[in-house]
Amino acid sequence: MKDTLVSEYRKLVTTRTWWVLLIVMVGYMAFLGTMMAFAFTFDGGSQVSTGGGATPVVDPRDIAVAVYSLPASLGYALPLLVGVLAVTAEFRHRTLTPTLLAQPDRNRFVAGKLIASIPMGLLYGVLGTLATVAAGATVFAFTDADAFLGDAQMWGVIARTVLSLTIWCVLGVGLGFALPNQVVAIIVVLAFTQFVEPIARLVLNLNDATAGISRFMPGAAGEAISGGSFYSASGLGNLLSPAAGALVLVGYALVLALLGRLTTLRRDIT
């Protein structure tokens, strides 16, 4: 198993894809952190005017949580794509045959892919989250808002956001096995994360009878791990507990990997 893990990890880090997407991730999250922090705090952005003056409508701590957890809310597509590409590239570039000749145990191969993606997901989680926190905290300092970086619970939110992105990378590997066609998989990831799930969550939360369903969708589960999100701060539904969110997201990753093992990897590979 050790040789399999080393081999799969080397496949991840010996291409340019991972660091190009990582640069995009850091820049994108720094931009979002800056913009969202300004939107919430600059010139009374988190306040409304009433007869007696400006009254906060969003708790300052909730604002900090919403900004610092942005990677779990809006940035998870990039580590998800890294996980997807780790598998689909094997099919596209026809390296799967020599891989399975070197490691004929397909169950071990799937497990190796899943486990080897954890360090990569962790790297994306750490750098993407730190970029968001640094950008957001800088804006908070500029607008005289509390950054809450001396709050141990806030660092718990930050750490769980990193965990969320790590799991997303693993889920991407599972999705890659279920959808081995690289073009199709990328289209599905972008369509689902950017359009399908956000719209579905909005529609489901319009009705009390269906609002609970939205909490179990992958994006909502990822946000739940961090303990807060931009969507929940905006009043778009409640989230599961962090532990329940982690279990749901890991469950999605394992189910997709199992589906891929029973379909894609059940066939002869040539």
pLDDT at 80 over 60: yes
Rounded to 5°, angle at Cα 16 from 10 and 19: 90
Is residue 196 situated within a structural domain?
Answer: yes
* 117 lies in some domain: yes
Q: Is the pLDDT of residue 37 over 50?
A: yes
71 in any annotated domain: yes
**Number of compact structural domains in the chain:** 1
Average pLDDT, the chain: 89
Give the pLDDT of residue 49.
Answer: 39
Q: How confident is the model at residue 68 (pLDDT cuts 50, 70, 90)?
A: very high
> What was the pLDDT predicted at 210?
85
- Terminal C-alpha separation, the chain: 24
Q: What pLDDT sits at residue 234?
A: 60
Q: 240 with 221: CB under 8 angstroms?
A: yes
Residue 92 lies in a domain: yes
Which residues are CB-contacts of 51 (< 8 A; sequence separation ≥ 6)?
none
pLDDT tens by residue, 147-200: 999 999 999 999 999 999 999 999 999 999 999 999 999 999 999 999 999 899
Q: Is the pLDDT of residue 225 over 50?
A: yes
pLDDT tens-digit map of 93-112? 888 888 888 888 889 999 99
- 85 belongs to a structural domain: yes
Instruction: Report the C-alpha gap between 194 and 233 in whole angstroms.
Output: 19
Question: Which residues, 6 or more positions from 132, have their beta carbon under 8 angstroms from its beta carbon?
Answer: 29, 30, 32, 33, 67, 68, 70, 71, 75
Whether 270 is covered by a domain: the verdict is no
> Is residue 95 a contact partner of residue 87, using CB atoms and an 8 Å limit?
no
- Write out the two tokens for 240: 């599961």
Domain of residue 233 covers 2-261
Q: Which residues contact 195 (CB under 8 A, 6 or more apart)?
A: none
Assign 43 a pLDDT band (cuts: 50, 70, 90).
low
Residues paired with 50 in a beta bridge? 53
The pLDDT of residue 138: 96
Distance CA 153, CA 157 (A): 7
Lowest mean pLDDT among 28-32, 57-61, 167-171, 172-176: 57-61
In a domain, 269, yes or no: no
Q: Which of 126, 129, 144, 127 is nearest to 38 (CA)?
A: 144
Which two tokens mark 198? 């956000």
Residue 15 pLDDT class (50, 70, 90 cuts): confident
Q: State how far the alpha carbon of 63 is from the alpha carbons of 66, 68, 196, 215, in Å.
A: 5, 9, 26, 21
- Per-residue pLDDT reduced to its tens digit, 18-27: 999 999 999 9
Please check whether residue 267 lies inside any domain of the structure: no
